[in-house]
Amino acid sequence: MLAGDIMSFVNNLIKMLIGIVLLVVGLVWYTGIPGYFEGNLDKLLDLLGATVGLFLLFVGLIVAWMGYDDYKMDKEMAQEEKKEDKKE
């Protein structure tokens, strides 16, 4: 292994360890530690419940936009085919 490969491996390992620590801290934040820290699970559930409608709104908007874009493309393709047919 080259020195650059070793440094890349160490950097990736550090990032993974930081990610695992943040994951554990996040889990403890919401679930709590019995006797020490109550946790915020009820707030997490409120947040998830509040974001479902917003998520559906944006997904619906994206799907409708994609359908409209496909409709426009089909219309343009049909016009191009008519032009090609007239040229032949």
Give residue-wise pLDDT tens across range 31-56: 888 888 888 888 889 998 999 999 99
C-alpha to C-alpha distance for 46 and 25, rounded to whole angstroms? 20
Which pair of structure tokens corresponds to residue 69?
């874009």
Q: Return the pLDDT at 1.
A: 58
Digit-coded pLDDT (tens) for 12-22: 999 999 999 99
Output the average pLDDT for the chain: 90
pLDDT surpassing 80 at residue 74: yes
Domain ranges across the chain: 1-39, 41-88
Give residues with Cβ within 8 angstroms of 41, minimum separation 6: 30, 31, 32
Tokens for 87?
């040229």
